[in-house]
Amino acid sequence: MDPDRIPPSSIETEQAILAACMLDRSAVPRASLILRGDPDQIWYHRGHALIWRDLYDLWDEGEGTDSVSVSNRMRDGGRLEEVGGWDYVHQLGLSAFCSANVEHHAKEVMAKARSRRLIEIGASLQRAGYAADDVGAVVSRGVDELYAVTQDGTKSWAPMSQGTRDAYRAYEAARAADSTMTGISTGLTDLDAMTGGWQDGDLILVAGRPGIGKTSLGIVAALAAAKGGHTVGVVSLEMSARQVGQRVLAQSADVGIQVIRTGRASDVAHAKLAAAAAASYAPIWVDDTPGLTVMDLRARARVLVQKHAAALLVVDYLQLLEPEPGSKADNSERETRLISRALKLLAREADVPVIAMCQLSRGPEARPDKRPQLSDLRYSGALEQDADLVILLHRPEMYGIDDDARYGSTAGICEVIVAKHRQGATGPIRAQWQAESAAIRDLEWRQPQ
């Protein structure tokens, strides 16, 4: 910090909090819910941090928090003179008239502490910028530290009654809506019925062999969420934003991708494309930066969530993400484990569903029916553990299988197999694969003539 400038602080507000807590011990827990973190970082006055520690300990032990009790505790610990002696603590105890405003004062003190932390981070980044060899690592660390400043504090213990109340409120909302949907629509009716939609905080893996339709399902999810008024972030590590745009136009206009690429469209198709292109896709944001690390992704996702209130993130695809610089694993299995865990943490901290596309091994090709299984996930242990929902895609027609003993003809059929569902049922659903537009739709849908 600049030694010639006084850091953001309010000694009077800090005194008001301590005085209110000495006057009324019930003010201590109210203030502590806001003043979460290291007292040495929160309180500008060193003596106030020491007083707060002892005052809080007294309250926690069920003892009195008046000025005499606090002074005695500090005297016994050899800290009383460090804060200004008995006179200072006693005067604090006499200066409060009520504790009604303790929460307001606590928020002001926390705001000042965050401002000081912001200045410290800026100075630290400036020093690191002069000395850094790995600029990306410095930027990523800075984003993490800046993000931490915006948080009110870390979650801790909460009574189970709070969790059950939240669950019951969600149940009542679903009951009132007369719908099984509790999350964001997947874009497929049967998948919505099985899962209740994409759920906040969940990591969803959509896995399959190359060319099976993983990106298509991701675009279906993005379009459905945007149609429902949700902001969506699409991280495309395999395709450019223009190529993703082609997929979106093809699905929206029901026109073949090849038609869009070549420009050879009939008058009808041209009109449909023009209408689709004129539609607003504002709620969908695309980042096609190649070679992103997990730390880069988390930083960019935080910005999108905070600035644009993103409600869904789609990552295409998991194996193209790079691990953190300096933590690169010595084998692919460990890399996958680190990336998988980081994506789950992203879903939890942003409290949004994160859909990650994932390649399967060649396991299905060795089976007569070519159907994928959970064990076909590359390094399946870590992925299965972190994922809340695993969806496997299967198109029998792709392998020359024209008939299925259970369903009959496989023409234009895409099986969407819910192989793992932490909160519900598993099993396959059938959808329609529209090859020309690379679209996955409800089975009842038929392309208009």
Positions marked active-site: 238
- Measured between alpha carbons, how far is residue 36 from residues 39, 53, 386 in Å? 8, 12, 29
Q: Which residues pair with 235 in a beta bridge?
A: 287, 315
Task: Count the neighbouring beta carbons within 10 Å of the beta carbon of residue 43.
Answer: 24
Residue 421 sits at φ, ψ, to 5 deg, of: -145, 100
Where b means 16+ CB within 10 Å and e means fewer, 320-351 reads bbbbbeeeeeeeeeebbbbbbebbbebbeebe
Task: State the DSSP code for 364.
Answer: G
Strand partners, 392: 207, 417
Cα separation, 230 vs 243, whole angstroms:
22
CB 343 within 8 A of CB 359: no
Q: Is the preceding omega at residue 317 within 30 degrees of 0, hence cis?
A: yes
DSSP letter at 83? G
To which H or E segment does residue 347 belong?
A: helix 332-350
Please give the single-letter amino acid code of residue 205: L
- Would you state the torsion angle of the CA atoms of residues 103, 106, 110, 112, taken in this order, to the nearest 10 degrees? 120
CB atoms within 10 A of CB 369: 11
196 residue type, one letter: G
Task: Confirm if 306 and 352 have CB atoms less than 8 A apart.
Answer: no
Q: To which H or E segment does residue 225 belong?
A: helix 214-227
Can you say how many angstroms the Cα of residue 75 is from the centroid of all Cα atoms in its chain?
47
Question: DSSP per residue over 198-210, as a string?
Answer: BPTT-EEEEEEST
CA distance readout (Å), 66 to 11, 27, 81, 103, 105: 20, 12, 18, 19, 19
Residue entry with tokens 């006693």: 90
